[in-house]
Amino acid sequence: MDDPDFIIVGAGSAGCVLANRLSADPQTKVLLIEAGPKDGAISLKAPAAMLANLTSTKYNWAFPGAPEPGLGGRSFQHDRGRVLGGSSSINGMCWIRGHARDYDGWLQRGCAGWGWADVLPYFRRAEAYDAGADTFRGGDGPIRVTRPRAENPLAQAFLDAGRQAGYPMTSDISGQVQEGFGVFDRSTHKGQRWSTARGYLDPARSRSNLAVRTDIHVRRILMDGLRAEGIVFNNSGIERKIKARKEVVLCSGAVGSPHLLMLSGLGPAAHLTSHGIEPIADLPGVGQNLNDHPDYVLKWRCLQPVSMWPQSRGVMKLLSGLRWLSTRTGPVATNHFDTVAAVRSRAGIEYPDLQLTLAPLALQGTTWTPVVGHSFQIHVGLMRAQGRGAITLASADPLQPPHIQANYLTNPTDLAAMRNGVKLVRELVHQPAFASLRGEELEPGAQVESDEDIDARLRAMTGSQWHLSCTARMGAADDPDAVVDAQGRVHGISGLRIVDASIMPEVVNANTNAATIMIAEKISDVIIGRPPLRPAGPEAEVSLNPRWATHQR
């Protein structure tokens, strides 16, 4: 397509949404560019095959992380989708929106139109919830969302232990009550992953006004002064250019979008100059404000044969695969995250800052290989970390990945919250519900008792939930660190918009895929010129624990 109205760079969680919504007008020509391949592999359809995709670089950018000072100088890989559907094609399929206070916080930071009442209608528009539509949930959207039954004895023990420990129960973790224990919705349908490539792009692929091009790595934005004209990319060793008649829209994610801005001369001027890039616009916030969710995993032996250990190896693994291929049912048809808890790490915190998730099989370190024998693990995710990192250039070469420094656990408040999380999970697993299931504590180990020892273990083993975000955050024009306005337009630059997780002012208290899709749904109306959906009314207000100021639960 030689003269598209819109060029969308990145066919991920946001890009596929925009490709569908913008091309719905047959008079609008849309070009969708993706650096990765098409999404035809069977591993991208089978939910339990997510580990195979994360341990491969075929569909994963697998960005190297910098040594992390808060983790004893450790570094690890940052997984991001590199395929049609982006991270929604390789992620854990956990579907959760975050708390209403997250979005009201965005509104208070100068992002008009992004409060909870404003965004809820777009969450509803995006989803088709198999438990049925209501005030909080959508019934006929492009993303199929499955409510699990949580039938595994370990999942039931998790819920029962939460009740025994005095935590509230929630009937819908994305509904009126987030705080508490409940089932964990997932973006699957009839035993298959439901990515944005599946939900949004597939229905639009046959449109004559939509062109989808894969395996094309965009090198920079084509600029004419302070206007974005198009993109520059390499095709078979030859540099090529293509112009957009209306806009270039970056949907390359929290790593890719700020990286592409800086390669194009849009970013912190001194930093660009140090890499031999002539600054076009001094935008100091580009790449800054990196948010993520640190993750630590506690592990136990399981005394009963109820874990997924038999299905993870040998003949049983093969039979499970064959069952999925023929019926789309069985162990391969799920992500195995059936239950979740959103809790507060201490009294005095208004709404949850920890996410606890049980998996019915423990994995070893960073190898992703199962622990030998029956086991289970519980993730402690810090969902409102105070530490901030940055995406910066490592080189002016577009083919070289950027420098990713997240600064996990460098903030004392974050370390304290994670330490409390370890103690809370230990208390949970020592409730009567786990008595017949709980064996030896494998991680951190019973010998790790003091705060100092727990902190040392956290520094040695904490990883990431791969929810990098906020590196081109929204904010008012007079906010020197804001990169885009409330409509996703880059400050001071015409013809250029960013629509992905990078524009979040602060990361949401949840896995980020649902929120990223919501962002794209909302800004698609802005781009089209359609009035925003009617804000939700008082019936959609969420509840808070009335004792939050004085009690942890």
- SS3 label, residue 129: strand
Reported as type and span, the H/E element at residue 438 is strand 438-443
Are 540 and 136 a contacting pair, CB within 8 Å? yes
Are 320 and 164 a contacting pair, CB within 8 Å? no
Are 361 and 308 a contacting pair, CB within 8 Å? yes
- Burial of 477 by CB count in 10 Å (0-12 exposed, 13-18 middle, 19+ buried)? exposed
- SS3 label, residue 391: strand
CA 513 to CA 467: how far, in whole Å? Answer: 8
Q: How many CA atoms lie within 13 A of 264 on its CB side?
A: 30
Residue among 336, 467, 491, 551 flagged as catalytic: 467
CA angle 134, 138, 141 (to 5 degrees): 160
Give the type of residue at 323: R
CA 188 to CA 146: how far, in whole Å? Answer: 6
Radius of gyration of the chain (CA): 23
Are 159 and 169 a contacting pair, CB within 8 Å? yes
Reported as type and span, the H/E element at residue 196 is helix 196-196
502 closest CA partner among 461, 472, 533, 537: 472
Q: Any bridge partners for residue 7, and if so which?
A: 31, 248
Structure tokens at 278: 């002539």
> Is 374 a known active-site residue?
no
CA 494 to CA 229: how far, in whole Å? Answer: 9
Maximum pairwise Cα distance, the chain: 68
DSSP tag of 480: T
Give the type of residue at 359: A
**Residues tagged active-site:** 467
